[in-house]
Amino acid sequence: MAKLKIKSTTVLAVYHKGKMALGADGQATMGTTVAKSHVKKIRKLSEGAIITGFAGSTADAFTLLDRFDEKLSAFSGNLKRAAVELAKDWRRDKYLRQLEAMMIVADKNEMLVISGTGDVLDPDEDVASIGSGSQYAKSAALALKKHADHLTAEEIVRESLTIAADICIYTNHNLVVEVL
């Protein structure tokens, strides 16, 4: 039996004017069918000091979130160290290598994109995105940061995700945004 390819989600993080905002749409898609329209893909960890967003298989993402939370505890909340250690495990571990998901993790000062290929990326221009509509959301966020300085980080994330949802069939308008 062929493996069902799951496409869903747009996750976007923006650091702007001293605030970190991370948001995602709420759509989960299986093939060409919307499976659910109100999925929460944003989680707070470390007593609310860290926010995470995931794209990909939900079960895989929750496994990775649990592992990331363990790494945060092991490294006293050090975001970068926990991310690097998770990426190492994800790359090396036979079980974890099979997981199909990506994550954005952020604290009040930095954001990182973590992938199963061992990447831990510190994005340029204080904008990170993952998922099906990520390039639409990222493009919108970069333009808004540059040309709409009156907006807050949360407003940029909401508007950018709305633009992505208008274009990407795997992204909807049911948004969840967290701010640090």
Catalytic residue flag (residue 152): no
Of the candidate CATH numbers 3.30.70.1150, 3.30.56.10, 3.60.20.10, 3.90.230.10, the domain formed by 6-171 belongs to: 3.60.20.10
Asked if pLDDT for residue 1 goes beyond 70, the answer is no
Asked if pLDDT for residue 115 goes beyond 70, the answer is yes
Q: What is the pTM of this model?
A: 0.93
Report in angstroms the alpha-carbon separations of 43 from 104, 143, 170: 11, 27, 20
Domain boundaries, the chain: 6-171
Burial 165-177 (b: 16+ CB within 10 A, else e): beebebbbebbbb
Q: Which of 9, 10, 52, 58 is catalytic?
A: 9
Give the three-state DSSP class for 154.
helix
pLDDT level of residue 9 (50, 70, 90 thresholds): confident
Asked if pLDDT for residue 5 goes beyond 60, the answer is no
Q: What pLDDT, on a 0 to 100 scale, did the predictor assign at position 2?
A: 39
